[in-house]
Amino acid sequence: MNAPASLEDLRGQLGELLPRLRRFARVITRNVQDADDLVQVAVEKALARAAQWRPDSRLDSWMFGIMKNAWIDEIRARRRRQRMLAPEEAGADVGDASAEARDIALSVQAAMERLPEEQRLAVALVLVEGQSYKDAAEILGIPVGTLMSRLARGRAALQEMLGEAR
């Protein structure tokens, strides 16, 4: 096995990135179990393609792209099998927030879960992961204008579900 010299470097950086990868996965899969499976798949893919990673490029964007593709593949596979999507009751944990903060967090998560896939991805990348519009559009493989319209529709839907005045 002729691993590139930067493989260990890549592993180390992926290790630091794991909490964020898990967070992103949690948003897009809506399921704790699926989320960590997705992170594992993405990390394995990244390590297998280590040669494609340029150390001067942003690892988070690269990983988000890998994760998004793996998740889309997974959804398509599930649909092909005509199976149900992730079960509703498998809600995400929200950590050790106070009871009030947890209620808010859960209602936001419940609203997020109801967003269409493409809007949820846009919201996850920009609002949760702080990616720029340009980076988010690149990760999703869409023009910036499309990203903006998905993001705007996603936000409008969230605001409506969360009961905020328009």
Footprint on this chain of another protein (rule: CB under 8 A): 8, 11-20, 22-23, 26-27, 33-34, 36-41, 43-44, 47-48, 70, 73-74, 77-78, 80-81, 83, 92-97, 101, 104-106, 108-109, 112, 123, 126-128, 130, 132-133, 148-149, 151-152, 155-156, 158-159, 162, 164, 166
Q: Closest separation between CB of residue 48 and another protein, Å? A: 7
Quote the DSSP letter at residue 115: S
By beta-carbon proximity to another protein, the closer residue of 51 and 77 is 77
Greatest Cα pair distance in the chain: 59
Burial class (CB in 10 A: 0-12, 13-18, 19+), 84: exposed
Cβ at position 135, least distance to another protein in Å: 11
Comparing CB distances to another protein, the nearer of 47 and 142 is 47
| Gyration radius of the chain's alpha carbons | 17
CB of residue 126 to another protein, shortest distance in Å: 6
Alpha-carbon dihedral sign for residues 132, 19, 85, 100: negative
Sequence letter at residue 116: P
